[in-house]
A = this chain, B = another copy of it.
């Protein structure tokens, strides 16, 4: 059952040291504010799961919160490398990072299977490539009807899913629209969840009969954090701050500049800065 909490309370009560955590968002609706709160609360030994780890995972890794990353594409989209991720893999800084690597198809299917309560996902994939040689969790099954060999991976069943969405109603039902990625599956596959939203409304009002809505009883905590996806975007609220993604490349390249930025912008801030980021972005666009 969804509880309305502050972000600090939500992370406090739901995310534990050593948890597997899926903070999902496919370019759109990435839960940056929640990620910062996890960093501020100094969670340790996390296994982070995500198809497209980008800046927020770079930050969590660089701040030493993460023991293991389960992923399929780790980069700064359209810009280049994630320097903190690379530093952890290549140099073990600030600590070694174990990697469980998949393709997007495998990750998407693994979330889908988790949401569907299955132990495995079956799909046609990994043909002629090297990932199965380095990831022992990629196996195969034989179709009993055709004899075809199909790839199989374990379903994702994270301890915690964290997503950002556009709106919640007063009951705690949550609505998403636009590029919805694997967020619904991430929440439905997880044991616990935190959803940050742009706003809480009295009523969703007239809406598409097939709108993407997560009922309140599928959710853990619901937290209003306006701007909480910044520098990613929330369709209908604010655009992606592409300039910040480009700027991140320079910030994260060196350990010292990274740490200084984290201190100023995360450790010594609270979630309320996100609303200001979004306002600033909208003011510039206008």
Contact = CB atoms under 8 A, between A and B. Distances in A.
A218 interface: no
A178 B209 contact: yes
A123 B118 contact: yes
Nearest to A208: B208
Interface stretch (A68-76, A144-152, A263-271): A144-152
Given A208-B177, A210-B178, A211-B208, A119 B146 contact: yes
Contacts of A235: 209
Identical subunits present? 2
A177 B118 contact: no
A148 to B, nearest CB: 6
Among A141, A142, A177, find the residue whose CB has the most chain B CB atoms closer than 10 A.
A141
Nearest to A147: B119
Contacts of A211: 208, 210
A42 interface: no
B120 A145 contact: yes
A23 to B, nearest CB: 21
A133 B93 CA distance: 59
B120 A144 contact: yes
Contacts of A148: 119
B145 A154 contact: yes
B122 A117 contact: no
Given A177-B210, A208-B208, A210-B212, A119 B141 contact: no
A80 B117 CA distance: 34
A180 B122 CA distance: 25
Interface of A: 116-120, 122-124, 137, 139-146, 148, 150, 152, 154, 177-178, 180, 207-212, 235
